[in-house]
Amino acid sequence: MNSDSTAPDPTTSEPAPSKGAGQDEEANYLLAARREKLAALEEKGMAPFAYHFERTHPSSRAAELFQEAEAQESLNEKGHGDTVRVAGRIVSWRSHGKSAFAHIEDGYGRIQLYFRLNVLGEEDFSALDLLDLGDWIGVEGPLFRTRTGEITVQATSWTMLSKSLRPLPFGKEETDPDSGERVVHSGFSDTQSRYRQRYADLAVHPEVREVFRLRSRIVRSLRDFLDARDYLEVETPILQPIYGGAAAEPFVTHHNALDTRLYLRIADELYLKRLIVGGFERVYEVGKDFRNEGIDRSHNPEFTMLEFYQAFADYEEMMDLVEEMLVTVAENAVGSRRIQYQRTEIDLSPPFQRVSFVEALNRGLGRDLHQMTDPELAVTLKELRGDDPRIDEMGRGRLLDKLFGALVEESLVAPTFVVDYPVVLSPLAKLHRDDPRVTERFELFVAGRELANAFSELNDPLDQRERFLSQMQLREAGEDETHPVDDDYIRAMEYGMPPTGGVGIGVDRLVMLLADQPSIRDVILFPTLRPEEGRQG
């Protein structure tokens, strides 16, 4: 190439280099080529980073416009329709010497562009050499159909909107003529890079963008559903002096001015119920919870939880509400109550199956758990999970919970309410009105995963204190994930809390289900990852 002194030196002007950016130095020849084009654009007086572009039509709208013109037979003698101004990122380029085809992509789809020397003139046409995949351009020209039938903008002029200085990892794609499916060749598939550089993942994968559009529709639909039922959306603290509402390990932080320890919330529950005490009959919150635990395909350290509480309702009523909510959201967001999750058909039509925790577990065990001693349960669990010494430390509640996880959960593919959980597992739920050994609680399972958790909320402050204390005893006996005592919460309840039904729904998991995504990381834009090497904290 040339050694133009105005060309920026890529080794010194590369932004924010870090130790972890070593690969960029290796790729310098690719970055350098784009820097040179950038300099060449400037030399021609073409601003590589524009301020504005007057777009007349999004890509999809432009295509519709042409089809309308065809239907009205209003094309001119050249077969041209209206002139449009479209803008987008160049995602493919086919140069033919004195003509060139490209596709640009905008927020609404793709449209093909056609450039010809004799239309653009020598100067504008030759400047096309300075374009790269990834550049943003604006184009003006009439719509027409190519010989192969694709609606295309014939560029009479084009404008640089933003020069891409770093190649996006575009794959080549084709449409299989038989199946009509899009086949991507050698795309961008390294999982870690895709999550770490989600911007690049989104830029080259329209289907990934679609997942997050769907996520947005789902969340909006959840809100609409509750708003329509006179629920009040509220915001409660994420930084809390005492964490609670679930059995989980919290993140711990410190507030300097108050010189006090704070926890990131693990659930919204206790604050929302304080609001029920305060006199709001129906409240909900959708927000992030944080749990300092492992990461796998269904767990991210921060995740989105929807919790809603309704005065005067019990868990039966909340079950009906959850059924209606799921079917409504599915129909609003994906257009059907029958969905496919990882090749399994799932019908979300109410009513869902209902089975009691004990009944389901007995079925899994093949015997009656009430006839089994703790050591017998422990032996059974060891047979399933291997001889883990921690099993000997577990109390009965924990054992039952683990056995349920091992024997039952996976089989709950069709939507199923598991109801009436053992008291030890449910310190915030009311005792069952007919059976004091269990609580009025349900969990909803779909596709073998827990999606919702709900109870007739415990509103007896004396009972609540007892439950907290027995959790404390469990902790002293060695169980780590027990619920801490929250005196302020009890104080609130002492003022008087109406009977209340409450539900928590894991929003990420709901999105996984409806978007047919196998990993929670595929429905979180920026999932938690180990920090990149070389970054300063």
* Pick 336 or 342: Cβ nearer RNA: 342
* Pick 29 or 51: Cβ nearer RNA: 29
Least Å from the CB of residue 352 to RNA: 17
x/- track of binding to RNA for residues 256-285 (CB under 7 A): ------------------------------
* Pick 331 or 374: Cβ nearer RNA: 374
Of 29-37, 342-350, 366-374, 429-437: span binding RNA (CB under 7 A):
29-37
Task: Give yes or no for a contact between 142 and 82, defined as CB atoms under 8 angstroms apart.
Answer: yes
| Identity at 163, one-letter amino acid code | K
SS3 280: coil
Q: Which of 5, 52, 147, 257 binds RNA (CB under 7 A)?
A: 147
Angle separating helix axes 507-515 and 206-227, nearest 10 degrees: 120
DSSP character string of 227-257: HTTT-EE----SEESS--SSS-PPEEEEETT
* Pick 172 or 213: Cβ nearer RNA: 172
Least Å from the CB of residue 213 to RNA: 22
Burial class of residue 376 in the structure, from the number of CB atoms within 10 Å of its CB (0-12 exposed, 13-18 middle, 19+ buried): middle
Question: Which residue shows structure tokens 């496919």?
Answer: 340
Least Å from the CB of residue 292 to RNA: 9
Structure tokens given for 392: 């000997």
Give CA angle at 487 (484, 492), nearest 5°: 125
* Pick 188 or 315: Cβ nearer RNA: 188
HSE of 51 in the Cβ direction (CA atoms, 13 Å)? 0
Structure tokens given for 190: 């390294």
* Pick 229 or 475: Cβ nearer RNA: 475
Contacts of 370 (CB under 8 A, 6+ apart): 358
Least Å from the CB of residue 180 to RNA: 12
* Pick 61 or 299: Cβ nearer RNA: 299
Q: Which of 402, 430, 432, 441 binds RNA (CB under 7 A)?
A: 402
The radius of gyration of the chain's CA atoms, rounded to the nearest angstrom, is 30
CA distance 221 to 328: 8
* Pick 56 or 298: Cβ nearer RNA: 298
For RNA, the binding residues in 35-54 under the rule CB under 7 A are 37
Binding flag, residue 234, RNA (CB under 7 A): no
Least Å from the CB of residue 142 to RNA: 11
Give CA angle at 88 (82, 93), nearest 5°: 95
Least Å from the CB of residue 430 to RNA: 19
For RNA, the binding residues in 156-195 under the rule CB under 7 A are 167, 169-175, 185-193, 195
CB atoms within 10 A of CB 491: 12
Binding flag, residue 535, RNA (CB under 7 A): no
Binding flag, residue 146, RNA (CB under 7 A): yes
The strand pairing partners of 103, in sequence order, are 92, 112
The strand pairing partners of 141, in sequence order, are 84
* Pick 26 or 230: Cβ nearer RNA: 26
Least Å from the CB of residue 479 to RNA: 9
Question: Which residue shows structure tokens 């007057």?
Answer: 54
Structure tokens given for 526: 């920026």
Least Å from the CB of residue 128 to RNA: 11
DSSP character string of 131-178: --TT-EEEEEEEEEE-TT--EEEE-SEEEEEE---S---PPEEEE-TT
CB atoms within 10 A of CB 252: 11
Least Å from the CB of residue 101 to RNA: 3
CB atoms within 10 A of CB 286: 18
Identify the CA nearest to 306 among candidates 506, 465, 491.
506
CB atoms within 10 A of CB 465: 16
The strand pairing partners of 444, in sequence order, are 417, 452
For RNA, the binding residues in 104-143 under the rule CB under 7 A are 112, 114, 116-118, 129, 132-133
Q: Which of 70, 82, 150, 359 binds RNA (CB under 7 A)?
A: 150
Least Å from the CB of residue 214 to RNA: 18
Identify the CA nearest to 134 among candidates 9, 56, 22, 33.
33
x/- track of binding to RNA for residues 500-529 (CB under 7 A): ------x-xx---------xx--------x
Task: Give yes or no for a contact between 377 and 396, defined as CB atoms under 8 angstroms apart.
Answer: yes
Binding flag, residue 220, RNA (CB under 7 A): no
For RNA, the binding residues in 343-382 under the rule CB under 7 A are none
* Pick 184 or 355: Cβ nearer RNA: 184
Least Å from the CB of residue 353 to RNA: 19
Question: Which residue shows structure tokens 């007739």?
Answer: 456
Least Å from the CB of residue 100 to RNA: 8
Q: Which of 128, 406, 423, 472 binds RNA (CB under 7 A)?
A: 406
* Pick 319 or 511: Cβ nearer RNA: 511
* Pick 393 or 460: Cβ nearer RNA: 393
Applying CB under 7 A, the site for RNA has a residue count of 84
* Pick 311 or 486: Cβ nearer RNA: 486
x/- track of binding to RNA for residues 298-337 (CB under 7 A): xxxx-x----------------------------------
For RNA, the binding residues in 45-104 under the rule CB under 7 A are 92-99, 101, 103
The strand pairing partners of 114, in sequence order, are 101, 154
Task: Give yes or no for a contact between 266 and 315, defined as CB atoms under 8 angstroms apart.
Answer: no
Task: Tell me the backbone φ, ψ of residue 252, rounded to 5 degrees.
Answer: -115, 140
